[in-house]
Amino acid sequence: MTNAGQTLDPIQSMRRMLPDDDTVYNLAEFFKMFGDPTRAKILQCLHIRALYVGELADVLEMSISAVSHQLRVLRSAKLVKGVKEGKEVKYSLDDDHVNQILDCGLTHVKER
């Protein structure tokens, strides 16, 4: 007899308690955004105030192109948004969770 309906084997029951694969995948994608030093810095800068691409490049001492590439990544994850102002584009945070998550992480890193 093979455990008919009453109890659940522990592997099955563990699987049922996990978020579905789609959610886990999105979760990982989300955290990946914070998992690169350049992006982490960009997010912290924009947490302080909205900035133009060139300003970000100056602060981070990186090429404008590199910054722009990372902004595209962050934009596609809906974490930042860019608004055109004449020739320039001003970037700001596009998600309330960002501050919360950054604070969470900073607390952890500083405590450890």
Residues that bind DNA (CB under 7 A): 32, 36-39, 52-54, 62-66, 68-73, 82, 84, 86-89
Contact by Cβ (8 Å): 89, 42: no
Q: How many CB atoms lie within 10 A of CB 45?
A: 17
Give the residue, chosen from 64, 65, 83, 97, that forms a contact with a second copy under the rule CB under 8 A.
97
Residue 82 interacts with which of a second copy, DNA, none, CB < 5 to 8 Å by class: DNA
Looking only at the bridges linking them, the beta strands covering 88-93 and 80-85 are antiparallel
| Rounded Cα gap, residues 45 and 25, in angstroms | 27
> Which residue ranges make up the site for a second copy (CB under 8 A)?
10-11, 14-15, 17-19, 21, 23-37, 39-41, 44-45, 48-49, 51, 55, 58-59, 78, 95, 97, 100-102, 104-112
